[in-house]
Structure 1
Amino acid sequence: MVKKKLILVINPGSTSTKAACFQEKKLVNSREILHGAEELKNFSSINEQLEFRKEAVLSYLRENGLGPEDLQAIACRGGNVGQLEPGAYEVDQAFVEASFHSETPHPANLSPIIGYEIAKEVNEKLGRTPDSPDALKAYVYDPVCGCGIPEKLYTITGIPEIEKPFLTHVLNSRAVSIEEAKREGKKLEETCYIVAHLGGGITVNLLKGGRILDLVGDDEGGFSPERSGGLSVRLLTKLCYSGRYTEQEMQKRLKGKGGLMAYLGMNDLREVEKKIAQGDKQAALILDAMILQTAKDIVSLGAVTCGKIDKIILTGGMAHSKMLTDKLRERVEFLAPVDVIAGTYEMEALAFGILRVLRGEEKARRLPGQTKKD
């Protein structure tokens, strides 16, 4: 029997839905529900996956014997709902609408919707109104759009109608920056880190004082396991107008079927390394190209602070690869010392962020234009 109430964490990804419960800072249980290609092909859009993903979370709760009375708060990964400051946001109907109609389709957009619906159902079952002091609430912490409002200097591109988007792995990049500052015995506000998140998509982020100052997004830098990265706009435009692909097919080539997937037919770095160990020269060449391009992205952000970087942090799932991190280190450590914090800390970052809200150490905002009811 659970004595203290729990924070439920919901984190949908491209091929899985992660759910976990934390009792303050202690992980009580967790589950990663994998979604195979055969399951997902039945949905024509990510929004159509809403009930499917929600049921995955509810089944996790049932399997662990958790009921409505066990939950204290729901912490949700957030997608793109417009440029926001980092930190916590209370999910209301406006946040739900913004998530559902996001211009950037991603399973993360479903997380606050799922959390909001579960909270609403729990409150109704327990006879609480949304404004009751003991009402269960859903929150988002450090959404992908939570870089803050960037300085104009960093948003200018070669076409006035297109501004550089500030969408990145905010949650994990800030979490490992906080961890690195603790390791060094520094205040976060005094640090300047470059964080390379090495996952299915690769982003490189310059964090000064814990805030993202500039970045290389997953669609503008080097390629990654599933994404094409930046391409020659001349050749890309020609391909788009060749008549060979629909817009949806091109989007999939850029994000989902690009990068390692396009060259090698696989997006799992471990499988690529097996091929290299077996003497596959093409696999070795493509991986070296990805590493080189990532290194160039990392070093490019050094120009923003005139080379004044405290540490380069390599994180994300691919940071578990010694082959990859050693080769990256060799190319970038002339700029700053390199630390590896492998894996992702998204579940902990979500839970701990909302715990700080519950303790009164941080305040949860609402979307701009929304006011909190008394």
Structure 2
Amino acid sequence: MTSELFRILVINPLVEGTRIAVYENEECLYDKMIPLLNEQYDLETLQQLKDRKKDITDTIQTVGFNIAHFDAVCGRGGLLRPIEGGTYQINQQMIDDLNNQINGDHVSNLGALLADEIAQDWNLQAYIVDPVVVDEMFDIARKTGVPSIERKSIFHALNQKSVARSLARQLQANYEDLCLIIAHIGGGVTVGAHQYGQVIDVNNGFDGDGPLSFERAGSIPNKSLIDLCFESGLSKGAIQDKIIYQSGLKSYLGIERKADLDWLWHTSPEKVEEVFDILGFQIAKEIGKMSTVLSGNVNAIALTGDLAAYPYLNEKIIQQVSWIADTYVFPGENVMLALAQGTLRVLNGKETIKHYDKGRNGKNGS
């Protein structure tokens, strides 16, 4: 007896365009990047909605898919209110919060908006899966030395949870029965302590907490950062740009894109190795911190993200953390498959759908 087949349209809005994919269960039938036109770049994020939607539907129909025969549409989740991990049905509260940019403006906010409009046009179900605002942190993990400032949970939730489930399958166990440390290494670096299906602590790589990354500075000594703010003559926006987008490997190596790093690795590997030594040291230290959050009860460690494709960097990290637990490597970030898998778990009844609302203290999901 064969299991039921579900056809899912997956949408991942990016700055340079919209990536779409069609899945039949976990098999990818079609995958395409639809680039933005020059005139579309000049529009504000939410103003791009109409054009992106038309580009998606035209492309899908042109290659011969009948959207009416799809079972669901899944968009990448955006900057919503803090929510628990899982697959969420898109509802009006979610649409309102994204349109009002409740937690900020980001291109990922278009994911749910696009999925909702296409689903409504074709009478389909619309979902998001594990957006960056997934918040399952212990309350004590939020605290800082300044009572009015608390740490936030903003991290690569989709990839971390997807890799955690893949690792659990490899270990022939359930994600909900394991304690894992997952390190996402890319444009940003986030290291999460996964305890029985929840990420109870994680560094906020977007805001600069934790290790340096490809383009982010990571944690900086407080006094030095204060001096930079008041003595550099830079505006608030310029400092944010420097710390979030123009630091890390980019500033050490004088590069701009991942392709530049690949080229430099092949032409001058010794230069890259010096910086990878720094990056690997800081990531290993963050993994060590998360092992204490789990009280040393760590079943396995996983390294994932674009920079996990470099064996030299992985080896540097593993050398320092091998005493904690075995380390597994999952290079890249399989966003489209992770979105399809999250949707499929709901469609085939393996996971209960969650519903987005304002919730108590902003956290929600039931």
If the length of structure 2 is used for normalisation, what is the TM-score?
0.87
Q: State the match for 1:214 in structure 2.
A: 201
**1:129-208 to 2 correspondence within 5 Å?**
135-148=123-136, 150-208=137-195
Range with bigger deviation, 94-103 or 210-219: 94-103
CA deviation after TM superposition for structure 1 residue 121, in Å: 2.7
Tell me the SS of whatever aligns to 2:264. Answer: helix
> Given residue 114 of structure 2, which amino acid in structure 1 is its aligned partner?
I
Identical residues among aligned pairs (%) = 28
Aligned counterparts of 2:238 and 2:48: Cα–Cα separation in 1:
20
Which structure carries more relative contact order (alpha carbon 8 Å, separation 6+)? 2
CA deviation after TM superposition for structure 1 residue 205, in Å: 0.7
- Supply the RMSD in Å over aligned alpha carbons: 2.6
CA deviation after TM superposition for structure 1 residue 261, in Å: 2.1
Matched, 1:330 2:319: yes
Aligned counterparts of 2:41 and 2:19: Cα–Cα separation in 1:
20
**1:1-374 to 2 correspondence within 5 Å?**
6-33=7-34, 42-43=42-43, 45-100=44-99, 101-122=101-122, 135-148=123-136, 150-218=137-205, 219-242=208-231, 244-269=233-258, 271-279=260-268, 282-369=271-358
Gaps of 5+ in 2: 360-366
- What is the number of residues matched between the two proteins? 353
Aligned counterparts of 2:304 and 2:89: Cα–Cα separation in 1:
28
Aligned counterparts of 1:50 and 1:265: Cα–Cα separation in 2:
35
> Given residue 59 of structure 2, which amino acid in structure 1 is its aligned partner?
Y
CA deviation after TM superposition for structure 1 residue 273, in Å: 5.0
Aligned counterparts of 2:35 and 2:215: Cα–Cα separation in 1:
18
Aligned counterparts of 2:266 and 2:342: Cα–Cα separation in 1:
42
Tell me the SS of whatever aligns to 2:245. Answer: coil
If the length of structure 1 is used for normalisation, what is the TM-score?
0.85
> Given residue 153 of structure 1, which amino acid in structure 2 is its aligned partner?
I
* 1:215-269 Cα distance to aligned partner (Å, 9 max, x none): 1221201111121211223222332334733333222222222222233332545
Gaps of 5+ in 1: 123-134
* 1:105-157 Cα distance to aligned partner (Å, 9 max, x none): 332221001111222233xxxxxxxxxxxx31211111112233x22111101
Is the 1:314–1:338 contact (alpha carbons within 8 Å) kept by the matching residues of 2? yes
